[in-house]
Amino acid sequence: MKYYSTNGKAPLATLEKAVVKGLAEDKGLYMPERIKPLPREFFDEMSQLSFQEVAYRVADCFFGEDIPAEDLKRIVYDTLSFDCPIVQVEENIYSLELFHGPTLAFKDVGARFMARLLQYFNKEEQVNVLVATSGDTGSAVANGFLGVDGIHVYVLYPKGKVSPIQECQFTTLGQNITAIEVDGVFDDCQALVKSAFMDADLNAHMKLTSANSINVARFLPQSFYYFWAVAQLERAKGKSQKAKDVVSPSSLALSRKEAEASVVCCVPSGNFGNICSALFGKRMGLPISRFIAANNRNDVFYEYLQTGEYRPRPSVQTLANAMDVGDPSNFARIYDLYGKSHDAITKDISGATYTDEQIADTIRQCLADTGYQLDPHGACGYRALKEGLRPGEIGFFLETAHPAKFKDTVEKITGCPVEIPARLAAFMQGQKQSVSMSRDFSDFKSYLLTQ
- Per CB under 6 A, residues contacting ligand PLP are 105, 107, 135-136, 213, 268-274, 322-323, 377, 400-401
Closest distance of CB 291 from ligand PLP, Å: 12
Q: Minimum distance from CB of 129 to ligand PLP (Å)?
A: 17
Contact 410, 278 (CB under 8 A): no
Which of 132, 92, 7 has its CA nearest to residue 385? 92
Neighbour-count burial of 228, counting CB atoms closer than 10 A to its CB (0-12 exposed, 13-18 middle, 19+ buried): buried
DSSP letter string, 300-340 = HHHHHHHHS----------SSGGG--SS-TTHHHHHHHTTT
Residues near 333 by Cβ (< 8 Å), separated by ≥ 6? Answer: 6, 29, 31, 219, 272, 276
Query: Is the CB of 105 or the CB of 265 nearer to ligand PLP?
Result: 105
Nearest distance from residue 208's CB to ligand PLP, in Å? 21
**What is the secondary structure of 110-140 as a DSSP string?**
HHHHHHHHHHHH-SSS-EEEEEE-SSHHHHH
Q: Which is nearer to ligand PLP, 58 or 254 (CB)?
A: 58
Distance CA(258)–CA(399), nearest Å, equals: 20
CB 84 to ligand PLP: min, Å:
14
- Name which of 62 and 301 has its Cβ closer to ligand PLP: 301
Least Å from the CB of residue 200 to ligand PLP: 29
Beta carbon nearer to ligand PLP, 107 or 290: 107
Residue 222 Cβ vs ligand PLP, minimum distance, rounded to whole Å: 7
Minimum Å gap between C-beta 322 and ligand PLP is 3
Least Cβ distance, residue 330 to ligand PLP (angstroms): 7
Angle at which helices 223-241 and 51-63 cross, to 10°: 140
User: Is 167 or 234 the residue whose CB approaches ligand PLP more closely?
Assistant: 167
Q: Which is nearer to ligand PLP, 184 or 273 (CB)?
A: 273
Are 143 and 108 spatial neighbours (Cβ–Cβ below 8 Å)? yes
- Helix, coil or strand: residue 164: helix
Encode burial over 161-194: b for 16+ CB neighbours within 10 A, e otherwise: bbbebbbbbbbbbeebbbbbbbebbbbbbbbbbb
Nearer to ligand PLP, 130 or 261 (CB): 130
Q: Does residue 368 sit in helix, strand or coil?
A: helix
Backbone angles phi, psi at 354, to 5 degrees: -130, 140
Report the residue closest to ligand PLP, judged by CB. 136
Return the number of the residue (58 or 323) whose C-beta is nearest ligand PLP.
Answer: 323
CB 116 to ligand PLP: min, Å? 20
For residue 185, the 8-state DSSP code is -
C-alpha dihedral, 40 to 42 to 43 to 48, nearest 10°: 150
Q: Which is nearer to ligand PLP, 106 or 253 (CB)?
A: 106
Residue 53 Cβ, how far from ligand PLP at the closest point, in Å?
25
What are the φ and ψ backbone dihedral angles of 292, each rounded to 5 degrees? Answer: -120, 130
Cα–Cα distance between 353 and 376 in angstroms, integer? 13
Report the nearest approach of ligand PLP to the CB of residue 376 (Å): 8
Q: What angle do CA 389, 35, 271 make, to 5 degrees?
A: 55
